[in-house]
C-alpha cells in the first residue's frame, strides 16, 4: 500500500510507503487522481470525516502499490472529492495548529492501515506459505 500525503508526520511514520507531496491538500488529491488513472486503486476515502476540506491543510490518502485494471469507482470518488474541495471557500490556516492537523490526519491514516493489515488479500504459495498482495 502507498500513502499519498503532504503530512510530514505520515512521511516520518511510513517512510518508503509514503509518496510525499510538497504542496496543498488539493495537490495531494490531484496526485492521487493521476495515480488512479495509471491503474492504482483507491483504498481509503479521499475526504476527511467531519473535518471540512478547507479547514485542514493536511491530507493523506491510501492507494494500492500495485497497478491493475482501471478502477472506475476509485476515479469517481476522487473526482467527487476534488469537486467538493473546489466548491468550498479557502481559508488562511493558522500556522501553529499545523501539528494538530498533522496528528489527526496521521491517526486517521493509521486506522486505515490497521484495516488494511487485516484485509490483505493473499494466496497460498506452492511451498505452503502465504503471499500477500501489496
Partner 1 sequence: MKLELGYIPIDNIKFAERSYVEGSTLYVSKEELSEVLMQDENILGLNFAIALPGDNTRITPVKDVIEPRVKVDGKGGMFPGVLSKVDIAGSGRTHVLKGAAVVTTGKIVGFQEGIIDMSGPGAEYTPFSKTCNLVLVITPKEDVVQHEHEYTVRMAGLRAAAYLGELARELEPETIETYEFLPLLESIEKYPDLPRVGYVQMLQSQGLLHDTYVYGVDAKRTLPTLISPTEVMDGAIISGNCVSACDKNPTYVHQNNPIVHDLFKRHGKDLNFCAMIITNENVYLADKIRSSDRTAEICGYLKLDGVIISEEGFGNPDTDLMMNCRKISDKGIKTVVITDEFAGRDGSSQSLADADPSCDALVTGGNANEVITLPRMDKVIGTEAYVGIIAGGWDKNKAEDGTIQVELQAITGATSEVGFGYLSAR
Site string for partner 1, 18-47 (x = CB under 8 A): ------------------------xxxxxx
Closest CA to 91 of 126, 46, 51: 51
Binding-site member from 23, 37, 68, 103 for partner 1 (CB under 8 A): 103
Compare residues 19 and 62 and give the one whose CB is closer to partner 1: 62
d(CA 65, CA 3): 9
* Phi, psi angle pair for 50, to nearest 5°: 65, 0
Contact in structure between 61 and 29 (CB atoms under 8 Å): yes
Interactions with partner 1, residue window 43-102 (CB under 8 A): 43-53, 55, 62, 77, 80-81, 83-84, 87-89, 91-92, 94, 96-97, 99-101
Please state, as a whole number, how many other Cβ atoms lie within 10 Å of the Cβ of residue 75.
14
Minimum CB distance to partner 1, residue 128 (Å):
26
Q: Would you state the cell numbers that stand for residue 113, as one nine-digit string?
A: 492501515
* Beta strands 130-132; 60-63: pairing state: unpaired
Q: 24 or 126: whose CB is closer to partner 1?
A: 24
Q: Does 110 bind partner 1 (CB under 8 A)?
A: yes
Report the C-alpha gap between 11 and 69 in whole angstroms.
28
The residue ranges that bind partner 1 (CB under 8 A) are 42-53, 55, 62, 77, 80-81, 83-84, 87-89, 91-92, 94, 96-97, 99-101, 103-104, 107-112, 115-116, 119
Amino acid at each position: 500500500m502507498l500513502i499519498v500525503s503532504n503530512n510530514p508526520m505520515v512521511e516520518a511514520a511510513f517512510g518508503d510507503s509514503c509518496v510525499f507531496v510538497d504542496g496543498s491538500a488539493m495537490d495531494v488529491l490531484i496526485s492521487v487522481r493521476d495515480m488512479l488513472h495509471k491503474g492504482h486503486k483507491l483504498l481509503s476515502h479521499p475526504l476527511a470525516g467531519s473535518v471540512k476540506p478547507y479547514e485542514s491543510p493536511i491530507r493523506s490518502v491510501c492507494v494500492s502499490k500495485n497497478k491493475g485494471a482501471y478502477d472506475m469507482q476509485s476515479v469517481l470518488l476522487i473526482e467527487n472529492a476534488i469537486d467538493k474541495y473546489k466548491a468550498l471557500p479557502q481559508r488562511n490556516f493558522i500556522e501553529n495548529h499545523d501539528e494538530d492537523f498533522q496528528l489527526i490526519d496521521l491517526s486517521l491514516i493509521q486506522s486505515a492501515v490497521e484495516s488494511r493489515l487485516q484485509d490483505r488479500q493473499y494466496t497460498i504459495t506452492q511451498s505452503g506459505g502465504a503471499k500477500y498482495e501489496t
